[in-house]
Each structure stands twice: as structure tokens, then as C-alpha cells.
Structure 1
Amino acid sequence: MKKFNLMLIFVLTALLGFGQKSFYDFTVKDIEGNNFDMANLKGQKVLVVNTASKCGLTPQYEALEALYKKYGGEKFVIIGFPANNFLSQEPGSNDEIAEFCQRNYGVSFPMMAKISVKGSDMAPIYHWLTEKSLNGLEDSSVAWNFQKYMIDENGRLVGSVSPKTAPDSPKIVSWIEGK
């Protein structure tokens, strides 16, 4: 009977989502090596983007920065996660990536330390972004550099956008504006 009760508690916990992490439960390293606590973003919409410096989509940094300048602040933030998972298109160190982003695109939105966004060494935050059992919304895989994940003001995943979709696309802008 004791085993049955424990199993019932486990099943109910899983079904009701108790213990399920939110975006705010993660702490990562920023590009300078400091802890970056996602809980500090409570109340903001967050666009999470895996980035790369030597990709055909790298010019999206310009549109990301423009989006951040237009909407960034107390209600919206962009978080960049450099990753070298696709054809070694982000080979640089964190210092080199930061310098590249600043010099070429004037990036002012928060950039995190380089991580892995797929495979056996995938960062925990990307497990959460890509696994329905963790995020409660959908399973997905990171298709390429500049895939975008939308997190609402309560730390819940609300959608993802393909890498080729421009950061200033109607889907992203209407989500930011709450339309």
C-alpha cells in the first residue's frame, strides 16, 4: 500500500506539473563569466536566441539590436546564447564573441556565455526550452543558429520561431506588443 501511495503521489505530481521548472528557475553565466539569474527577469517577456558570428544569419544581430532598442526595458528583453553547434559557426571565445558583437552590431542586449544548444552536452536551459515534459508547451529541436524562443512575463514558454524568421517579424512584434 505504501508503494502504491508513493506512486500515486508521483503520478499526480507529474500530471499537475508540480516541481516543473519555469524559465526563472535557471541561473546561467553571462558572456563575462558572471552569474545571470533569470528570476531577475520576472514580469518581462524574454526572447531567447542562440547566436553565431560566422553564419549566413549573423546579420540578424542588427535586427535583434533594433528590436531591443525599440522595445527593451522593463517589459521586454532579448537574451543571446552563442553556440557552436552548427558547422562550427561560433568558434570564438566569450571575449572574442563579445568584441565581435559590439564592434559589428553594437549589441547591448544581454549576451550569455557560449553553450551547447543540442546534443549530449546541451545546456539545461535548452533542455527546458526544447522538451515539453519540462516546459509544458511543446517539444522542439534547435534547427540552426538564430532560433528564437518566446517566454512570457510569468516564465512560461509560449512559442518558438524558426531561425530564418526575422526578429522584427509580425509574429514576434505582435507578441511583444501583446496583440
Structure 2
Amino acid sequence: MDSIHAFHANTIDGENISLEAFKGQLLLIVNTASRCGFTPQYQGLESLYREFKAQGFTVLGFPCNQFGAQEPGDSREIAAFCTSHYGVSFPLFEKTHVNGDHTHPLFQYLKSAAPGLLGTQAIKWNFTKFLVGRDGKVIKRYPPSASPAMLRQDIQKHLAL
């Protein structure tokens, strides 16, 4: 697999879609959680999405309960929380494993294409972010501590390409 377009994932509503639907868009793929110290980043992610979506930018949120059980709800609860607290309108997906034996193939690909600090592939915490080019190839990995605002310049640069 040489791009994210080869993968499928279930939306928060349970619909299985091909990520080829996002071909030609610059993507920010994020593993999220509703009860994390980084949860307020939803606001910044939504802000980036609204600012740049007309230029072909999309945020894809993948809730994950693997770090401190910080995403305990079901899909309906997660969607309601994201909408009511942060006005999230970007696509959300079903709860996803990003590490371990049940890692979603998309995250296996993302981690191998853009290893973390010191070459480790494991995702260390919620709100790890992957910037993916219009061609579906990973451009860069960002740690949870990188606020959405810190990614703005990279997003603008790659939208202009």
C-alpha cells in the first residue's frame, strides 16, 4: 500500500467507506478522545477545517480509547459530545485501535510511513496527527502537544502546491 486511498474505515455512523473518497484533498488524520487533556484541540481542528475546507482540506477524526480509557463512549455518545461541545463538522470515524494487535490497517500504514521520535512507530497518546498529501502519501507526523494552530503554516504550504 502506497497511499491512504487503499484503505476503508467505518464512519461514526457505521458506514464503511473507502478513503479514496478523499483523493485530491489535503488531510489531517488525528486519533482523538473526549476526556483527554488535549480534547480542547477539537476546537482548533474544527477551526482549521472551516478555514481551509473550500481549498481542499479535511480533518479526519478517529476516536481511540487506548490511552487512559479517555474515550469510553459509544459512537452516538462520541458524535454528540463532539458536536455539542466543539461544533465538530469534520468527518468522524468509529472508535479505532492505533496500537497493538488490533491496530487498524490505516494506522499501521501511517505509523510506518511517518515514524515518531527516535524512529518508534507506536502512537504515544491521543491527538497524534498525520498530515497527508492530496496523493494520499504521508507528509508529516505531529505529536499530541502540537496544537492545531501550529500546523497552520504547513497546511497553507501544502494547499498551495
User: TM-score, normalised to structure 2's length?
Assistant: 0.91
Query: Which residue number corresponds to residue 114 of structure 1?
Result: 95
8 Å contact 2:2–2:137 — kept in the other structure? no
8 Å contact 2:131–2:138 — kept in the other structure? yes
Query: Which residue number corresponds to residue 155 of structure 2?
Result: 176
Query: Which residue number corresponds to residue 80 of structure 1?
Result: 61
Distance 2:55 2:155 in 1: 12
Distance 2:48 2:137 in 1: 21
- Is 2:8 aligned against 1:27? yes
Q: Secondary structure at the match of 1:126?
A: helix
Cα shift readout 1:113-169 (whole Å, capped 9, x = no counterpart) = 1111111111111000111xxx3x545321100000010011101110000110110
Distance 2:92 2:27 in 1: 13
Distance 1:125 1:34 in 2: 16
Q: Secondary structure at the match of 1:178?
A: helix
Distance 1:109 1:36 in 2: 15
Map 1:1-179; keep pairs closer than 5 Å.
20-131=1-112, 135=113, 138=115, 140-169=121-150, 172-178=151-157
8 Å contact 2:5–2:19 — kept in the other structure? yes
Distance 1:32 1:95 in 2: 8
Deviation at 1:94, TM superposition (A): 0.5
8 Å contact 2:65–2:71 — kept in the other structure? yes
- Aligned-residue sequence identity (percent) comes to 38
Deviation at 1:100, TM superposition (A): 0.4
Q: Secondary structure at the match of 1:36?
A: strand
Distance 1:74 1:128 in 2: 26
Distance 1:69 1:75 in 2: 11
Q: Secondary structure at the match of 2:148?
A: coil
Distance 1:177 1:55 in 2: 28
Structure 2, unmatched stretches of 5+, are: none
Distance 2:102 2:35 in 1: 21
- Alpha-carbon RMSD across the aligned residues, in angstroms, is 1.3
Q: One-letter code of the match for 2:146? A: T
| Greater RCO, CA 8 A, separation 6+ | 2
Count of matched residue pairs = 154
Distance 1:167 1:52 in 2: 15
Deviation at 1:74, TM superposition (A): 4.8
Q: Which has the larger radius of gyration?
A: 1
Distance 1:160 1:57 in 2: 17
